[in-house]
């Protein structure tokens, strides 16, 4: 009985001691947090650049591209390029089976040769008819031939002249037809209309192309040396934009790199999606290093105002007492009098007063 009472007393003593330790530990943590919360966060006034900007999302497209199509029907025989290849203007890209076109050219050439062969005979007939007409003219003047023979000679001459003119017209028509057939034959060899990069191929070797109603697109060539950025700007911000204003953008994979340009155009017709009105803003950027690709996503910044190499004060360190005075709460800064801030950009503003770079201010937003 005595042993059980002693064990109970020991457990109560340990529990009491544990409660005292927990109370002391809780008091210490509370005091440490209070000290931490009471300690102001001091920020340093620095010197740098500030800007106001309208942000928008967009994508990149080549500034110039051509969809290369087929002008003749037939089976696609060969592809001489692949996606990503750089091509020059006039370079051969693909060939279409030209059996039908080649046969038409040969038929037109044969027809033209046959007409040209008749030309010498028609010319000889005209010369003979002209000689007979001249002889009958002299004879009729001497009253040495009949009127019927004279009329017949004149009629034969007119018929020979008409026959020769008709043949010459047929030759011209046949020559034009041959030239057309030769041009159609040349269309079976597809050449690059511009210099650039092959960015897509829509057909496969062996596929039959039907160009009777609409030219089928075979591939697309784009000039990637200059990219056009298409930004979608909300109707609330579009009035803040103007042509030739500074603009830059970043990409998801470009890290901190910026590409700069000038706003070229704002398309007047908006794009309405789910009752959201967006206007398309266009500007061009140089891509000579080929770092930008088609359809990349761009985070765009249209710079409406900017200042360079100015003293910057974090907004959280300032207390706007009135429109002309700002109060700093750090011990070594008492009052910023007559501050005429020209640009306000969260989380910093530009000030035009005697605050030197390197001074420290209490950041109120940290409390």
Q: Which residues of 232-241 are buried (b: 16+ CB within 10 A; e: fewer)?
A: bbeeebbeeb
Any domain includes 346: no
User: Is 146 a member of any domain?
Assistant: yes
Using alpha carbons only, what angle is made at residue 352 by residues 347 and 356, rounded to the nearest 5 degrees?
A: 80
Asked if residue 213 has pLDDT above 70, the reply is yes
Q: Which residues pair with 76 in a beta bridge?
A: 96
Query: Left if phi > 0, otherwise alpha if psi is -120 to 50, otherwise beta: which for 295?
Result: left
Flag whether pLDDT at 29 surpasses 80: no
Least confident stretch, 30-34, 182-186, 258-262:
30-34
Instruction: Assess whether pLDDT exceeds 90 at residue 251.
Output: yes
Classify residue 69: in a domain, yes or no.
no
Residue 307's SS3 state is strand
Mean pLDDT for 105-128 is: 86
Helix, coil or strand: residue 208: strand
Domain-embedded: residue 29: no
**pTM of the entire predicted model:** 0.61
353 pLDDT exceeds 60? no
- The answer to whether residue 120 is domain-embedded is yes
* pLDDT, tens digit, 9 for 90 and up, residues 274-293: 889 999 999 999 998 889 98
| Exposure b/e, 242-273, CB count within 10 A at least 16 = b | eeebbbbbbbeeeeeeebebebeebeeebeee
Average pLDDT, the chain: 79
Within 10 Å of residue 364's Cβ, how many Cβ atoms? Answer: 16
**CA-CA distances (angstroms) from residue 211 to 74, 85, 179, 206, 325?**
8, 26, 20, 15, 76
pLDDT of 32 higher than 70: no
pLDDT digits (tens, 9 = 90+) for 57-96: 999 999 899 999 888 888 888 989 999 899 999 999 999 9
- CA distances (Å), origin 356, targets 45, 47, 182, 277, 337: 7, 9, 80, 45, 14
Residue 315 lies in a domain: no
CA distance linking residue 10 with residue 100, whole number of Å: 111
User: Is residue 91 in some structural domain?
Assistant: no
Could you tell me if residue 345 is inside a domain?
no
Total number of domains in the chain: 1
- Asked if residue 63 lies in contact with residue 285, where contact means CB atoms within 8 angstroms, the answer is no
Domain region containing 162: 98-187
pLDDT for 303-350, tens place per residue? 988 887 877 776 666 655 544 433 333 333 333 333 333 333 334 444
């Amino acid at each position: 009985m005595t042993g059980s009472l002693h064990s109970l007393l020991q457990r109560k003593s340990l529990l009491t001691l544990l409660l005292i330790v927990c109370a002391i530990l809780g008091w210490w943590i509370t005091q440490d947090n209070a000290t931490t919360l009471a300690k102001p966060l001091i920020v340093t006034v620095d010197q740098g650049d500030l800007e106001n900007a309208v942000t928008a999302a967009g994508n990149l497209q080549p500034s110039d591209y051509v969809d290369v199509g087929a002008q003749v029907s037939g089976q696609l025989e060969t592809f001489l390029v692949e996606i990503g290849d750089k091509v020059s203007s006039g370079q051969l890209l693909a060939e279409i089976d030209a059996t039908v076109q080649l046969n038409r050219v040969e038929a037109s050439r044969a027809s033209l040769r046959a007409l040209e062969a008749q030309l010498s005979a028609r010319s000889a007939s005209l010369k003979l008819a002209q000689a007979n007409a001249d002889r009958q003219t002299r004879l009729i003047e001497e009253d040495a031939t009949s009127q019927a023979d004279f009329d017949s000679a004149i009629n034969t001459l007119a018929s020979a002249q008409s026959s020769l003119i008709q043949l010459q017209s047929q030759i011209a028509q046949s020559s034009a037809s041959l030239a057309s057939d030769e041009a159609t034959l040349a269309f079976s060899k597809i050449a690059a209309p511009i210099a650039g990069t092959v960015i897509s191929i829509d057909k496969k070797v062996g596929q039959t192309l039907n160009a009777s109603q609409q030219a089928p697109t075979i591939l697309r060539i784009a000039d990637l040396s200059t990219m056009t950025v298409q930004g979608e700007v909300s109707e609330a911000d579009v009035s803040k934009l103007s042509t030739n204003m500074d603009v830059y953008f970043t990409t998801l994979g470009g890290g901190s790199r910026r590409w700069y340009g000038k706003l070229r155009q704002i398309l007047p017709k908006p794009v309405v999606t789910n009752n959201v009105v967006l206007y398309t803003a266009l500007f061009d950027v140089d891509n000579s290093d080929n770092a930008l690709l088609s359809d990349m996503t761009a985070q765009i910044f249209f710079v409406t105002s900017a200042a360079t190499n100015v003293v910057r004060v974090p907004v959280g360190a300032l207390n706007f007492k009135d429109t002309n005075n700002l109060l700093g709460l750090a011990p070594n800064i008492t009052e910023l009098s007559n501050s005429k801030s020209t640009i306000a950009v969260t989380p910093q503003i530009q000030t035009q007063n005697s605050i030197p770079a390197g001074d420290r201010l209490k950041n109120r937003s940290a409390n």
